[in-house]
Structure 1
Amino acid sequence: MVSSTSTSSTTKSTASATKLYKFVDIGANLLDERYTDGIYYGKKRHESDFDSVLDRAIEYGVTHIILTAGTVQESKKALTVVREYRKKLGATKNLFIGCTVGIHPTRCQQEFIDNLIVDDDNDEDDNSNNGNKKQQQAGRTADDVLNELYEIAKDGITDGCVVAIGEIGLDYDRLEFTSKTVQNEFLKRQLEIFLHNHDDGNNDVSSLPLFLHNRSVGRDLLQILQQYYPNKKEIKGVVHSFDDKLELALEFIDLGLYIGLNGCSLKTQQNLDTVKQIPLSSILLETDCPYCEIKPTHAGYQYIQTTFAGMKKVDKKFELGKQVKGRNEPCQIIQIAEVIAGVKDIPLEDVVNACYENSMKLYQFQ
């Protein structure tokens, strides 16, 4: 629940619980150690305030949050966190939490190749590399990793904790972590095992929507999806954190996908020009927290009407229940809606209601 002035006003207001809006944050990195352990850049700054972050989200109208995962361990942890939250607080808190399962494109080298190889420094007969030998751990293969992911998703869908496959896709901005070749191979292999491997019964992993990463890859992701889903009715999902050209957004939409917008989607005037023309019926809201906060230097900042009081820098005295300056949170999702409303010159309520309905439809939330 938040209050906000009209998008035509230039006066910003402080967020408060006076007007009801409802939000689904379709992408939140709440497993980040800044929330779970209070660790920033390797230094312990404060105790965990994970529950406080969720409480603030509820206070400001967030009804659903999807925790994103990008490795095998994160997928396992996400499922565990969701189940523990539901068991402990789910019955008393007006908040649905779900999670994704998948390998992020920049983590494919790590998860499917590097993690399969271990150092064996017990072989005294080997004189190369200071006596170290590289060998595959217990015969584990990339197929084993894929099968493990599939079993996590299959387990999580039984009680509705896993709600999407992701974060999967392509990222050519950070090829120092994973090459194009490896990214493409394991995007395809994840699509094959997750979405072309049908189960019997109601708990079918192939029915889950995709949570897709698309950064500086031109039409490569689109073309792979077109190849794997020639029938548009078979695909559903969202291209999250979209910051590319309008033409590409419209092609994703034509394929049957939604467009996810956060602060990184609203940085430049070109971004805003694109958002202005994306149909409201195809937009989902996300924070991608703790990243993608809308900053004063961003083109979209001019349209923000709701601010959050009491933020303090992490190197100052931490107060439990207070937001940390520079660490984005789900409660700030209203600012994304305000920028979209301002750019499109339509009422904020129209944006909030449309995006909420879009999210509920995609994820089939009750």
Structure 2
Amino acid sequence: MSRVIDTHAHVQFTAYDADRDIVIGRALEAGIGMVNVGTQYSTSLDAVRLAEQYPEGLWATAGFHPNHLDANAHYDPQELNECSTERFEYAKFLDLARHPMVVAVGECGLDYAHFTRERSERRQNGASAEAIDAGGLQQEEIKNLQKQQQEVFLQQVILAAELKKPLVLHCRQAFADLIKILKSKSRILNSPAGVVHFFSGTWDDARTLLDLGFFLGFGGVVTFAREYDEVVKKAPLDRLLLETDAPYVSPAPHRGKRNEPAYIVETAKKIAQLRGVPLEEIAAGTAANTRTLFGVS
């Protein structure tokens, strides 16, 4: 099988503190390279340091995930030892993203999922309409947080344009706003523009993003969840990328375990099956796409 590149991993996260070099070695020995994606300044810096340590097969991105703006949205001990919210600092990220091993700006974008989830949980618990609106995040607070996410995302779109580097996008339950922002800045997007990681939108969303110059990234979830099949089958092969999102969302047959880049072959197999083509066609095609987008060898 052709060399495969995991275009979205987080091997710099604390989930790998005990065996990071072993995990990286397992992937590299299998001919699998990886792009470790930053989610805030510290994890972006750690991704760069890993790429410096493994210059043949590892690359980095630098960016700010929307959930790090809101302490209520994000706490993941697999990523950081403690919850870390911070303010996005353009100059700081600009300096880091200039590093030659940084191939893209991101993970950046919009994430409205926890706003919806919190209200849904209160509704399921039998709260009244008034309590649903009053408890937890109120509507005005949600609007303010969404606005903050949009502003920080826009800054990173501009940062990527300044550096002439592609974007790595994160989007959950926010495709309308994401697309609106990207269309407003379509003239400054890189060519190609970037990748929508863990794509979870509709086929109409996909077509719009493809028209804007984006690739679509798919990971382990396609091995067990069928709602992704339509886009996986319809999207042109020359716009697909493989990813793991490790340590999250392990593919079948590894579900329930910590994910890692070596498992990416399972996603490639499933995409080949869904599209009715040989595995080698998916491996070679997505590897070529990764080179096109990120300029990696």
Give the TM interval when normalised to the shorter protein.
0.7 to 0.9
| Distance in 1 separating the partners of 2:104 and 2:155 | 17
Q: Is the 8 A contact 1:266 1:272 kept in 2?
A: no
Cα deviation for residue 234 of structure 1 reads: 4.6
Instruction: Say whether 1:55 aligns with 2:20.
Output: no
| Distance in 2 separating the partners of 1:50 and 1:26 | 18
Q: Deviations over 1:130-164 (max 9, x none)?
A: xxxxxxxxxxx957x2211111112x1xxx21111
Letter in 2 for 1:241: F
TM-score scaled to structure 1, two decimals? 0.65
Unaligned runs of 5+ in 2: 72-85, 119-136
| Distance in 2 separating the partners of 1:30 and 1:56 | 12
Cα deviation for residue 231 of structure 1 reads: 6.4
Question: Cα gap change, 1:358/1:325 in structure 2, threshold over 3 Å: closer, same or farther?
Answer: same
Q: Is the 8 A contact 2:9 2:244 kept in 1?
A: yes
Letter in 1 for 2:184: Q
Question: Cα gap change, 1:360/1:230 in structure 2, threshold over 3 Å: closer, same or farther?
Answer: same
| Distance in 1 separating the partners of 2:160 and 2:19 | 36
1:147 to 91, 94, 97: 91
Letter in 1 for 2:290: S
Instruction: Say whether 1:290 aligns with 2:263.
Output: no
- Give 3-state SS (helix, strand or coil) of 1:174's partner: helix
Instruction: Say whether 1:180 aligns with 2:146.
Output: yes
| Distance in 2 separating the partners of 1:356 and 1:102 | 23
Query: Match of 1:21?
Result: 2
Q: Deviations over 1:19-47 (max 9, x none)?
A: x43101111011221212xxxxxxxxxxx
- Give 3-state SS (helix, strand or coil) of 2:245's partner: coil
Cα deviation for residue 357 of structure 1 reads: 0.6
Letter in 2 for 1:348: L
| Distance in 2 separating the partners of 1:283 and 1:79 | 25
Query: Match of 2:183?
Result: 226
Q: Is the 8 A contact 2:251 2:263 kept in 1?
A: no
| Distance in 1 separating the partners of 2:150 and 2:201 | 19
Cα deviation for residue 81 of structure 1 reads: 2.6
Cα deviation for residue 267 of structure 1 reads: 4.1
Unaligned runs of 5+ in 1: 1-19, 37-47, 111-140, 198-205, 297-307, 309-323
1:34 to 15, 21, 36: 15
Query: Match of 2:281?
Result: 350
- Give 3-state SS (helix, strand or coil) of 1:214's partner: strand
- Give 3-state SS (helix, strand or coil) of 1:66's partner: strand
Letter in 1 for 2:69: C
More helix by share: 2
TM-score scaled to structure 2, two decimals? 0.80
Cα deviation for residue 265 of structure 1 reads: 4.3
Instruction: Say whether 1:341 aligns with 2:279.
Output: no
Root-mean-square deviation (CA), in Å?
2.3
Identity of aligned residues (%): 29
- Give 3-state SS (helix, strand or coil) of 2:195's partner: strand
| Distance in 1 separating the partners of 2:270 and 2:284 | 15
Q: Trace 1:132-281 onto structure 2 (pairs within 5 A).
A: 145-154=89-98, 156=99, 160-175=100-115, 179-192=145-158, 194-197=159-162, 206-230=163-187, 234=191, 236-281=193-238
| Distance in 2 separating the partners of 1:25 and 1:235 | 18
Query: Match of 2:261?
Result: 330
- Give 3-state SS (helix, strand or coil) of 2:175's partner: coil
| Distance in 2 separating the partners of 1:163 and 1:214 | 20
Letter in 2 for 1:195: A
Cα deviation for residue 235 of structure 1 reads: 5.1
Query: Match of 2:45?
Result: 76
Query: Match of 2:76?
Result: none
Cα deviation for residue 59 of structure 1 reads: 2.3
| Distance in 2 separating the partners of 1:356 and 1:196 | 24
Q: Deviations over 1:241-299 (max 9, x none)?
A: 01221111111111111000002345432211221111111100001111121246xxx
Cα deviation for residue 169 of structure 1 reads: 0.5
Question: Cα gap change, 1:196/1:207 in structure 2, threshold over 3 Å: closer, same or farther?
Answer: closer
| Distance in 1 separating the partners of 2:113 and 2:27 | 31
| Distance in 2 separating the partners of 1:196 and 1:357 | 23
| Distance in 2 separating the partners of 1:278 and 1:266 | 17
Question: Cα gap change, 1:66/1:284 in structure 2, threshold over 3 Å: closer, same or farther?
Answer: same
Letter in 1 for 2:283: V
Question: Cα gap change, 1:349/1:196 in structure 2, threshold over 3 Å: closer, same or farther?
Answer: closer
Q: Is the 8 A contact 1:171 1:213 kept in 2?
A: yes
Aligned residues: 257
Q: Is the 8 A contact 1:167 1:211 kept in 2?
A: yes
